[in-house]
Amino acid sequence: MTLSLPFSNAAPTRTIWVSPDGNNGNSGAEGSPLRTIQEAVNQAKGHPGTAIMVKAGTYHENLKLNGLHGTKEAPIELISADGPQAAKIVGGPDAATITGYGISHVGIYDFHVVSNTSSGDIGGFKLWGPWSAPATGLAIAGNLITGKGQDGFKLFNGAKDCLIVGNTINGTWRQEAIDNVSIEDVTYAFNTIRGSFGYTGLTVKTGSRDVQIVGNDIDGKGGTGLFIGGFGNSHATGVRSFDAKEWGGYDAARVHAHGNVIGDGHSTSVSFIGARDSVLASNQLAGAVRSVNHREEGRGLFDYGSHDNQILNNSVEKEGFFKPKAGQDKGYVVSGNTVGGGAPDAGTDAALAKAAHAALVFNQQLPPELASIIVAPAAVVDPAAVNLGIAQVAQPAFLPAVEPAATVEPLAPAPMPALAMDVSLTDAVPAAGEMAWQDSYVSAS
């Protein structure tokens, strides 16, 4: 797999300005800005190549991007014009702060997005589409997502060709900080996850495939750091018949997770759940790695095993870190993992995160060094050999100078309510007969 930007070198052909001091009756020029981001989005529909420049301030809106379409050559981009997190979008309790249904070739950069929901499947971002026309070609970069909600960021229903890079998710989430359901050809790179969550920091589930998870820093409180696989309740009931067809046969396939740091807030760093043909390489893992099946035979559906995955060259906390459920290590290759190794350069402060941010927000070509770390999952890139600070990338005249975002401190974890899990974690608890420490070994299929 290789990384490609959803769009690059795509300077805007039309600009709409928004300011807290504006008026929706204005022209949208820089000297005559609109008042709401929603009005700018409405005016951008049908006009690929539009840049929506949002001035500093607080906007109390539940933003709906539904039906917003750019093109690869002329995306529609929403930008915090005065720098990272200078523009804050504060949502209300009845919807995700940013909702996008059936959208394509859209970029969202550098906002502070605040979720305020106490119930329902809504949180910070909720991006998806109909199965026949899924969300496609999205770039989400440099945002800070805080507050409370079901998930900090959710991408689902066949979403594809998306890049989520350099964001910080630091809130109180009832389920996942980042949730992905039935996605393909999506990359999560150099994001930072803090705060607390009931299930996982990052989940890739329900038939998701060809996903890259690289350079993320996951250290929240509660749950598991990363699920490679898993199933949503709505799918496990058999309500959605596609599960046995296009998105069936596994919970996750061909997921490459490399160069991530998963901290000690999680006794389990990674769980493979109904996952196959995936790679976990060159990460720093403070907790265990588990491998379980996902069985829904009682409902006449399926029993997806985890098999043919690779666990390579990771830095682990202790021997015996790999704890597969009995029978769930078939075809695994476990090799080169060491106790107490160093940490990769990960999270939003990583040099490569800044390079990716610049490539998107400043419409530059992706630096080859960034592509190479994502193409080669088993390789460890020496951060000292990479010098890709944001200042090295020239920015176009229409954007003001941007200073790096301030470091975000973790939120104090809030008590999490008891929740029905998407996947039975009785299956995730090691049973008698699980594998002892063996590195290296190759298990027969």
**160 shares its domain with 178:** no
Could you give the CA distance from residue 209 to residue 251 in angstroms, rounded to a whole number? Answer: 9
Side-chain-side CA neighbours of residue 167 (13 Å) = 29
Q: What pLDDT is stored for residue 116 in this prediction?
A: 97
- Token pair, residue 236, equals 């496990």
Residue 318 sits in the same domain as residue 360 = yes
pLDDT digits (tens, 9 = 90+) for 3-60: 456 776 678 899 999 999 999 999 999 999 999 999 999 999 999 999 999 999 999 9
Q: Are residues 109 and 189 in the same domain?
A: no
287 plus 148 within the same structural domain: no
Rounded (10°) CA dihedral 345, 351, 352, 354: 140
Residue 215 lies in a domain: yes
Task: Please tell me whether residues 229 and 368 are part of one structural domain.
Answer: yes
The per-residue b/e assignment along 119-148, b for 16 or more CB within 10 angstroms, e otherwise, is eebbbbbbbbbeeeebbbbbbbbbbbbbbb
CA distance 208 to 181: 6
What pLDDT shows up at residue 226?
97
Same domain, 322 and 205: yes
Q: Classify residue 2: in a domain, yes or no.
A: no
Both 98 and 221 in a single domain?
Answer: no
Structural domain includes residue 397 = yes
pLDDT digits (tens, 9 = 90+) for 204-259: 998 899 999 999 999 999 889 999 998 766 555 554 544 445 677 889 999 999 99
Domain end point (choices 145, 165, 185): 165
Is residue 369 helix, strand or coil? helix
Domain of residue 68 covers 12-165
Predicted confidence at residue 425, as pLDDT, reads 27
Query: How far apart are the C-alpha atoms of 214 and 200, rounded to whole Å?
Result: 17
Beta bridge partners of 59: 89
215 and 67 inside one domain: no
Neighbours of 228 (CB within 10 A): 31
Residues of the chain with pLDDT under 50: 1-3, 239, 241-244, 372-445
Whether 257 maps to a domain, the answer reads yes
409 assigned to some structural domain: yes
In a domain, 7, yes or no: no
For 12-15, the CB contacts below 8 A with 24+ separation are 12/49, 12/50, 12/51, 12/77, 12/398, 13/49, 13/50, 13/74, 14/44, 14/47, 14/49, 14/50, 14/51, 15/50, 15/51, 15/52, 15/53, 15/398
**Helical (H) or strand (E) element with 185:** strand 184-189
Last residue of a domain, one of 165, 196, 225: 165
* CATH assignment of the domain containing 38: 2.160.20.10
Q: Is residue 82 part of a domain?
A: yes
Say whether both 98 and 185 belong to one domain: no
Considering its fold, how many domains does the chain have in total? 2
End position of a domain, from candidates 165, 187, 206: 165
Q: Looking at residue 231, what is its pLDDT? A: 73
Q: What would the 3-class secondary structure string for 216-279 be?
A: CEECCECCEEEEEECCCHHHHCCCCHHHHCCCCCCCEEEEEEECCEECCCCCEEEEEECEECCE
Question: What's residue 301's pLDDT?
Answer: 66
Whether 363 contacts 9, CB under 8 Å? yes
Could you tell me if 385 and 428 lie in one domain? yes
In a domain, 143, yes or no: yes
Detail the DSSP E strand segments found in 296-433.
303-304, 310-312, 315-316, 322-324, 333-335, 338-339
Please tell me the predicted confidence (pLDDT) of residue 338: 94
Same structural domain, 127 and 179: no
Q: Are residues 160 and 207 in the same domain?
A: no
| pLDDT for res 368 | 56
